[in-house]
Every structure is written in structure tokens, then in C-alpha cells.
């Protein structure tokens, strides 16, 4: 039988179970320290659970290609293709584990690093061996104190075990810090902002050297594939957002969204899928889909950062959209016209629409701005904002009409939904 990428306790053990977690991990909104999570695995427990990470060589790329492993940071780029490009660029490069969780609502990377840090570090060393790197780095946000502590402890435990030492680089608590080219720029000694460089970082990244950047969940799955080479890519981690807490769950790709307890219990009217710059969908539409990229692409959405935000029936979707638009406009890199001028204008119109001060001409202007901005940014940030806004206009079309025609909002709850840093 084909063994899936799941938690196994021995080479001959075919029991199925969670890939990464035995239980859901619960975080409060106000802190990166979870309310509940399994104990952090030390190195001895990690080896007892998974076995020693085997040595891998260039042939391991074919294994990753066979299991069709793709990145879990949002872009879903094939891992094997990225590694091949870095190896062909000559080696002596850098591999980076990106744990700088940029989405304020996301907690899946923190949950992974707090529970199974050695699985991530195993994947990091595998990537380094295959691409012939000479630097291995974990990038974290400055405010992630609990995660920093867990990773530092894990790195110290591995001293003498890994051929290449692993170090931590800390970036600012900003939305764009976790963007791939911003990570490369940060590690190169610059500002953590997206780069204009169109050459792939796998060819020329940190100080011109081949650089592979992977989300930490991707590297955990690399480590599983190294141990079970005929495995198939399977589950995914999602952060389900509530008004007082965030729950990290692990689901199979065949799982319908309406079968996810933390999501179904919210009884939402609509759901923001993929993160703050994601796609708004009515709940009835998402409920019929499955938790995988193929299913979501059929309706023009995607898992993105793995953040799922259910919107309660008594909450105005336009108010939430305005809050998000203001936050994302503030978090722009300020390096191109769409960020400097376009996103603030979009946020202004959405805010006036949410407070019943906009007319039909404003809505037409808003759509025009979004069309003009899309595809013209120096990075993907403006496109994400316009996607979130335009899908909101469709998803909440009835409320748009009420706000414009009757100058009336039909909902009680209007603000403080997503706790955007810096206020709404």
C-alpha cells in the first residue's frame, strides 16, 4: 500500500494518524503563546517518534517530484523544481526556513515550531544537503517570543549533529516581512521589504548566492518524505479564526469545509479564505468545497497562508473589509505607485462605503481603481488587496446595495473583528 505522509512510530507501522499534531492547537488573539498545545518535542523524543533523519542526496529531488510536494507558504510552487534550480546555479548557497508568519491571524507556523521544531530543522538540513548550501537559517518575527525560545532550544540540542550550523534571523513584525523576496533582502542585511529583482532567488538570492526559501510547514513535509520515500502528499494545516481565539487544525484534502468542527461551529454567513488578502466566499459556496487547492481554484480562491476567517451572521462584511483594507494599505512597502497612492484610495472608498457615505459613483470608482491597480505593483501585495475588496463587493452585494441606496447598515457588530495591528 502507499504510505501517506502521516505520523508513524516505526518503519513497519502503517497506522494512520495526524501528520504533525495529535490535537488542535489553540492560540488567543492577543498573544503568540498558545492556550493549549502538545509539549514541544525534544530531540530524543523526536528521534523516538520519527526515527533519525536519513542522509539524502541529489536523487531525493526525484522523490519530492514523485510525491508532488508543493510549498505551503501561499504560492504552492513545486519544491523539486526550486531545488533543481538552486543546485544548477552552482551550490554554496543559502536555505531559509520562513517562520516569519506575516498574516496577523495565522498561527499554523508557530504551532508547528512550538510542537515539532526538529521536524522543520530536519527538512532544512535535507534541503541544504541536496542544494549544496553552506548556510541554513530560520527567520522569525521579532515578537514571536515563545517560538524563538522553542527554536533556540531545538538548535542547541542539535549542536554537533548537523553538518551545517543553523542560525536564527529576526525580522520586524510587519505584514510584508514574510514575503519571499523580503526575507532574502532581510538576510542580506537590508530592509525586510519585497525586492524589485525579477531573477529567482534560487538563482541569485542572498548576496547574489542561490537561495531557497521555504515555509516551515513545507520543510516539515520534506522531512517526512525523507523518511518515507514512497509517501504521497496529504494533509494541510489551517488556522480557523474566531473572535477570541485561533485554532490550528490539520485536515485531509478530501475533507469538506463544512466538516471542520471549528469552522462549522461558527455558523458563518461568509468566509474569508486564504488570509487577509484572500477571497470572500459565501458560506454555502465554501461548505460544498474540499480543503485543497484544486477544489478552491474552481471558484477562483486558494488556501494562501492557510487562514480561514468565518464571518458571523450579525457582522457587517463591508465593515470588516474596510478594516482590512486600511490595515493592508498601511502595511504596503511604499515602493511603487499602487502601494503609495492606489491602496489608500481604495481603503478610503471602502471605508466610506462601510459607513453608508458612498454612492453608486463611488462603487464604480472603487472597481476602476482595483482594475487599474491589479498587475501593476512591484510585488503581489496590491493584487491581494484588490482581490479581497472586489470579492467582497460580490459576496456582500446585497449589503452594498443597502449601504448605497438606503444609506443603512443592517448589522449590529461592525468593528474590532480581526484585531488588525495598529487599529482599524
Summarize the confidence of residues 20-49 as an average pLDDT: 77
- pLDDT for 1 equals 22
What angle separates helix 145-157 from helix 117-131, to the nearest 10 degrees?
60
Q: What span, in angstroms and rounded, lies between the C-alpha atoms of 75 and 253?
A: 17
What angle separates helix 381-395 from helix 360-373, to the nearest 10 degrees?
150
Q: pLDDT tens, 291-300?
A: 999 999 999 9
Q: pLDDT tens, 268-317?
A: 999 999 999 999 999 999 999 999 999 999 999 999 889 999 998 889 99
User: Reduced to 3 states, what is the DSSP secondary structure of residue 169?
Assistant: strand
Cell of 83: 531545488
pLDDT > 70 in the chain, percent? 89
Query: Residue 257 pLDDT > 50, yes or no?
Result: yes
Query: Residue 15 pLDDT > 50, yes or no?
Result: no
pTM: 0.89
User: Reduced to 3 states, what is the DSSP secondary structure of residue 247?
Assistant: strand
Domains of the chain by start residue, with CATH? 25-227 (3.40.50.11540), 253-311 (no CATH), 317-406 (1.20.1440.230)
- pLDDT for 82 equals 94
Q: What span, in angstroms and rounded, lies between the C-alpha atoms of 236 and 294?
A: 13
The label of the residue with cell 481603503 reads: 347
- pLDDT for 32 equals 66
Tell me the residue ranges of DSSP E strands in 225-368: 236-241, 245-251, 270-273, 279-282, 307-311
- Using alpha carbons, select from 312, 324, 292 the residue that is nearest to residue 392: 324
Amino acid at each position: 500500500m502507499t504510505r501517506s505522509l502521516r505520523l508513524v512510530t516505526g518503519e513497519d507501522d502503517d497506522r494512520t494518524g495526524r501528520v504533525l499534531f495529535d490535537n488542535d492547537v489553540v492560540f488567543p488573539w492577543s498573544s503568540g503563546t498558545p492556550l493549549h498545545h502538545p509539549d514541544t518535542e525534544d530531540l530524543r523524543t523526536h528521534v523516538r517518534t520519527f526515527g533519525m533523519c536519513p542522509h539524502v542526496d541529489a536523487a531525493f529531488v526525484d522523490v519530492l517530484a514523485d510525491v508532488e510536494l508543493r510549498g505551503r507558504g501561499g504560492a504552492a510552487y513545486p519544491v523539486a523544481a526550486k531545488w533543481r534550480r538552486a543546485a544548477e546555479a552552482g551550490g554554496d548557497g543559502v536555505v531559509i526556513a520562513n517562520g516569519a508568519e506575516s498574516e496577523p491571524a495565522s498561527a499554523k507556523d508557530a504551532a508547528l515550531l512550538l510542537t515539532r521544531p526538529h521536524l522543520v530543522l530536519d527538512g532544512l538540513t535535507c534541503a541544504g544537503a541536496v542544494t549544496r548550501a553552506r548556510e541554513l537559517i530560520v527567520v522569525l518575527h521579532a515578537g514571536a517570543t515563545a517560538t524563538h525560545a522553542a527554536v533556540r532550544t531545538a538548535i542547541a540540542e542539535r549542536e554537533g549533529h548537523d553538518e551545517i550550523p543553523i542560525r536564527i534571523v529576526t525580522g520586524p513584525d510587519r505584514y510584508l516581512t514574510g514575503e519571499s523576496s523580503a526575507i532574502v533582502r532581510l538576510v542580506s542585511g537590508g530592509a525586510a521589504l519585497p525586492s524589485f529583482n525579477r531573477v529567482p532567488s534560487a538563482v541569485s538570492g542572498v548576496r547574489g548566492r542561490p537561495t531557497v526559501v521555504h515555509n516551515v510547514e513545507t520543510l516539515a513535509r520534506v522531512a517526512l518524505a525523507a523518511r518515507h520515500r514512497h509517501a504521497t502528499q496529504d494533509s494541510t494545516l489551517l488556522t480557523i479564526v474566531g473572535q477570541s481565539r485561533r485554532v490550528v487544525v490539520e485536515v485531509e484534502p478530501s475533507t469538506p469545509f463544512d466538516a471542520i468542527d471549528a469552522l462549522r461551529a461558527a455558523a458563518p454567513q461568509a468566509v474569508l479564505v486564504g488570509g487577509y488578502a484572500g477571497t470572500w466566499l459565501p458560506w454555502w459556496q465554501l461548505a460544498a468545497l474540499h480543503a485543497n487547492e484544486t477544489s478552491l481554484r474552481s471558484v477562483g480562491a486558494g488556501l494562501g497562508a492557510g487562514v480561514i476567517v468565518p464571518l458571523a451572521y450579525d457582522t457587517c462584511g463591508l465593515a470588516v473589509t474596510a478594516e482590512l483594507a486600511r490595515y493592508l494599505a498601511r502595511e504596503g512597502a511604499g515602493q511603487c505607485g499602487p502601494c503609495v497612492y492606489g491602496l489608500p484610495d481604495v481603503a478610503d472608498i471602502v471605508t466610506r462605503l462601510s459607513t453608508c457615505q458612498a454612492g453608486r459613483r463611488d462603487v464604480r470608482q472603487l472597481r476602476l481603481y482595483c482594475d487599474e491597480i491589479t498587475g501593476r505593483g512591484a510585488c503581489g501585495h496590491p493584487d491581494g488587496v484588490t482581490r479581497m475588496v472586489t470579492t467582497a463587493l460580490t459576496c456582500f452585494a446585497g449589503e452594498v446595495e443597502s449601504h448605497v441606496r438606503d444609506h443603512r447598515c443592517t448589522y449590529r457588530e461592525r468593528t474590532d473583528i480581526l484585531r488588525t495591528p495598529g487599529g482599524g
